Structure 1
């Protein structure tokens, strides 16, 4: 079979990059787009965008609403997301336990990994006291302003944290941690008690409690949390109860991932 020319490979790669950039233009904030918007965002000509979107539509990556003229992500994306989630060891181990936790406590139960300098939601289950009209799966969040983010950072030193997210951070509310010194002080507390908390640091009226999940090596690979409105989470009165429940489930998930709290030195 003849090998493709450099020109063909380069052209094919460019088309793939352009098509993927169009898919990335669909976000939680803007889940529907017009061709004109996609052209403006991508910097591509409208005819090029129309051709690429036509191919994406034929393959099921986007769908078109004839009445509004808007495009949205299609079923092929959902199918690929399902494949990716089902291949995640953390998702497989955590899913049922997080669902049970949401049902037991009536709060939202979430599982997230760290992807680069942000957390990435793998699981999200609603509780009767913390309903949402949308799923958190696939969305991202800041590490410094969330209980899950602090749990994910809890096995890193100050130098590693600074290299990862810097030493000064954006404030989402007046209660957001804004610098490395304050963050590392909070992480010392997380390591001591085994869980992290967040009270109106990312959004007003919300609270969260999270514990780290560890793999066979003992490294923190994900975090489990419960969250909801301040009145439902009620940390002033329920913190010990919630911490016990979350840590218990986190330990079960970590055990499923191969983690053992027993030091190898003790088994010799």
Structure 2
């Protein structure tokens, strides 16, 4: 007889596998076949069929002649997510205007443990631009947004982030220097730290308690992020971030309690 711990681990593994299957669905690949799933996950076909059947039974997948697509059961979750995370109209308008004015992509990030998550975006109008998808998780060991999001981070959190970076545990000290410099300047900037040729500038959005709850950023090709432009970006971002903070950002994506 299996121990409760073994049963629990098996259940967690099954959930992770099911989420992994759903994660294979993207804008570029809206339908996946059983063969696609087997090849992508390395799971046995019998295991994949069992997981797919469970997901289909719960409405999370929908069978088609070519494979499986996102099921209608996800609409309920999508509605809840949109209700919780959709930005107020004035903030959406401000981000659109900022992207138009500065001609670079505008992103809004929040921290989730050792990652930063993009929760809103307005793309640059220029053909050569930087774009991440809403919902994407990026590492916190580099980037302008990380430098402002981690302003109040504990040494333990910085150590965990640094441990998973390409630079190793010693990177925690470098991160602390970056974070402190961003706190003094009122904004963070990065140039090729995570991806060569990519730059960003970010300003902190504060909650009612004064803590950093989000990072508003402009990002694009490094060749366009000259010192003069960085200064201009920083001023614009700080102004908009301050306005967002003044409107109240402890619960930024819903009606305040």
- Please indicate the TM-score interval, normalised by the length of the shorter structure: 0.7 to 0.9
Question: Deviation string for 1:118-166 (max 9, x for gaps)?
Answer: 001100111212666975201011112211111111222434422x414
1:205 aligned to 188, 197, 200, which one?
197
The residue aligned with 1:129 is 126
Q: How far did 1:95 drift?
A: 2.9
Q: Tell me whether 1:140 sits opposite 2:156 in the alignment.
A: no
CA distance in 1, matches of 2:127, 2:188: 19
Match among 176, 181, 186 for residue 189 of structure 1:
181
**2:106 equivalent among 106, 109, 112:** 109
* 2:176 aligned with 1:165: no
Q: Secondary structure at the match of 2:196?
A: coil
C-alpha contact (below 8 Å) 2:130/2:220 kept by paired residues: no
CA distance change for structure 1 residues 248 and 28 in 2, over 3 Å: closer, same or farther? same
Say whether residues 1:245 and 2:245 are aligned partners: no
Q: CA deviation at 1:250?
A: 0.6
Q: Kindly state the Cα deviation for residue 221 of structure 1 after the two structures are TM-superposed.
A: 1.2
Following superposition of structure 1 onto structure 2, how do residues 20-99 of structure 1 map, counting pairs within 5 Å?
A: 20-26=19-25, 33-39=32-38, 45-54=44-53, 56-57=55-56, 61-63=60-62, 66=65, 69-74=66-71, 77=74, 80-88=77-85, 91-92=87-88, 94-99=91-96
Q: What's the offset of the Cα at 1:83?
A: 2.9
Contact kept, 8 Å, 1:168 with 1:180, in 2: the verdict is no
Q: How many residue pairs are counted as aligned between the two chains?
A: 239
RMSD: 3.6
Residue segments in structure 1 that go unaligned for 5+ positions in a row? 1-9, 172-176, 260-268
Q: Structure 2: which 5+ residue stretches go unaligned?
A: 1-7, 251-257
Shift of 1:59: 6.0
Give, in angstroms, the shift of residue 15 of structure 1. 11
Distance 1:119 1:64 in 2: 34
Q: Deviations over 1:55-109 (max 9, x none)?
A: 545765345664xx454545654663353133137x3374332222112211100
